[in-house]
């Protein structure tokens, strides 16, 4: 089914017509949809299957884990639980807050009804599931290299998605601590400490005022060290 869909549409074309920003606007404006704002403490867990809810992250960061292994991080402006609309059985994904968060909570059936009332809605939902699967595959592949390639890929991802640009560098949020970097990379803290020495020497990262600073333009200089 997925291959047939890809023959007719591309993800880019679908996202132009229908994306997560479109969906949240439709849900908030729809008279048929009930929702509530909810604040979550740090290290709170979310279970969209058990609660039969879908969440939209307004502020904060939420870690996505697959079988206890972190495979991604949701940032503000992203949904959590869309994949469970089609997959009725227990999801293999688990979620916990990295910092204090605020989410908008919807009933799953309301989201489903709103999605299916639009031509591109069902296709968007299927492709969102495909995106989740690709995320898992890409994360698995990136974890197969040596510690330099793994840690470099981690900093590349975090800086690209969460970094605040300052001149030619990207400053990571303070909650991306060394402990979290190690957990997210699947490396020990001691391995991260040793590998950071190499990344700092190559000018890829700095650690200043308890935050990481990443120089993405230096990433390609590290590639000879990946094998």
Task: Tell me the per-residue pLDDT of 195-220, one tens digit each, with 9 for 90 and over.
Answer: 999 999 999 999 988 999 999 999 99
Can you tell me the distance from the alpha carbon of 149 to that of 59, in angstroms, rounded to the nearest whole number? 30
> For residue 170, is pLDDT > 50?
yes
CATH assignment at residue 169: 1.10.10.10
Domain extent for 171: 147-225
Q: Are 195 and 86 within one domain?
A: no
For the chain, the farthest-separated pair of C-alpha atoms sits apart, in whole angstroms, at: 57
Are 200 and 94 within one domain?
no
Residue 139: count of CB within 10 angstroms of its CB:
20
Domain boundary among 142, 159, 188: 142
Is the pLDDT at 7 greater than 50, yes or no?
no
Per-residue model confidence (pLDDT) at position 91: 65
Query: How many Å apart are CA 40 and CA 99, to the nearest integer?
Result: 8
Q: Is the pLDDT of residue 2 over 60?
A: no
Predicted pLDDT of residue 136? 76
Give the model confidence (pLDDT) of 135-155 as tens digits.
778 877 777 889 999 999 999
Pair (125, 61) in one structural domain: yes
> What's residue 127's pLDDT?
82
Percentage of the chain surpassing pLDDT 70?
90
pLDDT score, position 184 = 95
Calculate mean pLDDT across residues 182-207: 96
Residues 13, 5: contact at Cβ < 8 Å? no
Q: Are residues 121 and 178 in the same domain?
A: no
206 with 200: CB under 8 angstroms? yes
For residue 90, the model assigns a pLDDT of 59
Nearest to 158 by CA among 73, 63, 77, 57: 73
Going by pLDDT thresholds of 50, 70 and 90, the confidence category of residue 10 is low
Question: Where is the domain boundary, 114, 142, 170?
Answer: 142
pLDDT reading at 191 higher than 80? yes
Q: 117 with 183, same domain?
A: no
> Which helix (H) or strand (E) is 3 found in, with range?
helix 2-8
How do residues 11-53 score in pLDDT, each as one tens digit? 556 666 678 898 999 999 999 999 999 999 999 999 998 999 9
- Both 128 and 161 in one domain: the answer is no
For residues 1 and 195, the model is more confident at 195
The reply to whether 24 and 95 lie within a common domain is: yes
CATH number, domain containing residue 55: 2.60.120.10
Please check whether residues 138 and 151 belong to one and the same domain.
no
- For residues 88 and 124, state if they share a domain: yes
Q: Is the pLDDT of residue 3 over 60?
A: no
57 and 15 share a domain? yes
Spatial separation of the C-alpha atoms in residues 188 and 147, rounded to whole Å = 10
pLDDT, tens only, 59-109: 999 999 988 889 899 999 999 998 888 765 556 788 999 999 999 999 999
Please indicate, yes or no, whether residues 115 and 157 belong to a single structural domain of this protein.
Answer: no
pLDDT, residue 5, reads 47
Query: Would you call 104 helix, strand, or coil by DSSP?
Result: strand
- Give the residue from 142, 160, 189 where a domain finishes: 142
Structural domain count, the chain: 2
User: Is residue 158 located within the same domain as residue 87?
Assistant: no
């Amino acid at each position: 089914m997925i291959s047939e869909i890809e023959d007719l549409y591309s993800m880019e074309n679908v996202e132009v017509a229908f994306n997560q920003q479109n969906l949240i606007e439709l849900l908030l404006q729809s008279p048929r949809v009930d929702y509530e704002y909810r604040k979550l403490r740090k290290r709170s867990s979310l279970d969209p299957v058990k609660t039969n809810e879908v969440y939209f992250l307004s502020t904060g960061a939420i870690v996505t884990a697959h079988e206890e292994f972190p495979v991604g991080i949701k940032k503000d402006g992203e949904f959590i639980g869309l994949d469970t609309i089609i997959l009725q059985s227990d999801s293999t994904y688990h979620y916990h807050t990295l910092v204090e968060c605020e989410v908008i909570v919807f009933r799953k059936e309301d989201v489903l009804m709103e999605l299916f009332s639009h031509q591109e809605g069902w296709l968007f939902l299927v492709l969102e599931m495909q995106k989740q699967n690709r995320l898992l595959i890409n994360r698995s592949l990136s974890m197969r290299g040596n510690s330099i390639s793994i840690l470099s890929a981690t900093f590349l991802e975090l800086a690209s998605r969460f970094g605040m640009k300052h001149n030619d560098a990207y400053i990571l949020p303070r909650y991306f601590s060394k402990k979290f970097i190690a957990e997210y990379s699947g490396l020990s803290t001691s391995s991260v400490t040793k590998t950071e020495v190499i990344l700092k020497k190559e000018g890829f990262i700095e650690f200043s005022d308890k935050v990481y600073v990443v120089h993405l333009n230096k990433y390609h200089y590290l590639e000879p060290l990946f094998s």
